[in-house]
Amino acid sequence: MLLIAGLGNPGPQYARNRHNVGFMAADAIARRHSFSGFSKKFRGEIAEGTLGDQKVLLLKPMTFMNLSGDSVGDALRFYKLSPADLIVIHDELDLAPGKLKLKTGGGNGGHNGLKSLDAHCGKDYKRLRIGIGHPGHKDRVSPYVLGDFAKADAEWLEPLLDAIAAHAELMAKGDDAGFMNKIALATGAAEPKPAKPEKAAAADGGKPAPAGKSHIRQARNSAQPKILPTSGPMADMLKRLFGDKKS
């Protein structure tokens, strides 16, 4: 069994906060994989389902962010799970918006939810960090994380949450590299289409060069001597005008 905990704060006033992106990811996984409805347990909301052949519990602690470890710790102890059976999804200030990092262990980076988890569960659990960017100064961090995502953020946030949910099975079975690769493919920007080359103007400012011919080739063609007729009416006329040059 695997426990996936998405971190956030309870209540509709926090629902779209940057700090609640862990809740958003948990909800996206539950919808995509037809988990049971969330019910109240372990001082949180929990849903049951499967990812591949792995039984999974999704947990959203309702203890507020700073006490997330109380809820997650209760669930781990009840099911006799270890930190190796835990994946935590949370916001990350030190990653650019929309960037992900998936690793086991590490520091808490000042994240109060992780501080609480470390105290109750140890540090050897897997973390899926979702970048939200940094406001630029530590004094602005609290209002920033407790502020809602901007409307423009939907352009990267919704595809990212969809991709996390779509490929959560890889994360659940421990294929971290495969999971991150799928996310990158799903959310990466499309390669820009090469611009159509403009028709080049002739060197003398006249008509554009015909498609498929360079100026150099045209110049070479124009430099070739013109072959004059040697017989027929035109040849006779030229001989009368210029005389016979052969003599």
Residues 50 and 167 reside in one and the same domain: yes
Looking at residue 216, its pLDDT comes to 39
Tokens of 123: 């540090």
Looking at residue 152, its pLDDT comes to 95
Tell me the one-letter amino acid at 221. N
Tell me the one-letter amino acid at 182. K
Q: Dump pLDDT digits (tens) for 183-217.
A: 999 988 433 344 444 444 444 444 444 444 444 34
Per 3-state DSSP, the chain is made up of helix, strand and coil in percentages (nearest 5) of 45, 20, 40
Q: Dump pLDDT digits (tens) for 230-245.
A: 666 666 665 665 555 4
Say if 126 falls within a structural domain: yes
Residues 40 and 71 reside in one and the same domain: yes
Whether the predicted pLDDT of 22 surpasses 70: yes
Looking at residue 151, its pLDDT comes to 95
Q: Dump pLDDT digits (tens) for 72-128.
A: 999 999 999 999 999 999 999 999 999 999 999 988 888 999 999 999 999 999 999
Report d(CA 71, CA 67) in Å as an integer.
8
Residues 15 and 129 reside in one and the same domain: yes
Q: Taking a C-beta distance cutoff of 8 angstroms, is the pair 66, 116 a contact?
A: yes
Domain that holds residue 64: 2-187
Nearest-CA neighbor of 53 among 78, 83, 33, 27?
33
Say if 195 falls within a structural domain: no
What's the whole-model pTM score? 0.76
Looking at residue 110, its pLDDT comes to 86
Catalytic residue numbers, as ranges? 19
| Stretch among 58-67, 163-172, 204-213 having the lowest mean pLDDT | 204-213
Residues 18 and 107 reside in one and the same domain: yes
Looking at residue 33, its pLDDT comes to 98
Looking at residue 238, its pLDDT comes to 59
Residues 131 and 216 reside in one and the same domain: no
Strand order from edge to edge, sheet including 2-6:
39-41, 44-51, 54-61, 2-6, 86-92, 126-131, 100-104
Residues 154 and 236 reside in one and the same domain: no
Whether the predicted pLDDT of 6 surpasses 80: yes
Q: Taking a C-beta distance cutoff of 8 angstroms, is the pair 112, 93 a contact?
A: no
Looking at residue 239, its pLDDT comes to 63
Looking at residue 243, its pLDDT comes to 58
- Average pLDDT score, the chain: 85
Looking at residue 206, its pLDDT comes to 45
Chain centroid offset of residue 12 CA: 27
DSSP assignment letter at 201 = B
Residues 69 and 154 reside in one and the same domain: yes
Task: Look at strands 44-51 and 54-61 and give their pairing.
Answer: antiparallel
Looking at residue 229, its pLDDT comes to 58
Q: Taking a C-beta distance cutoff of 8 angstroms, is the pair 59, 36 a contact?
A: no
Tell me the one-letter amino acid at 200. A
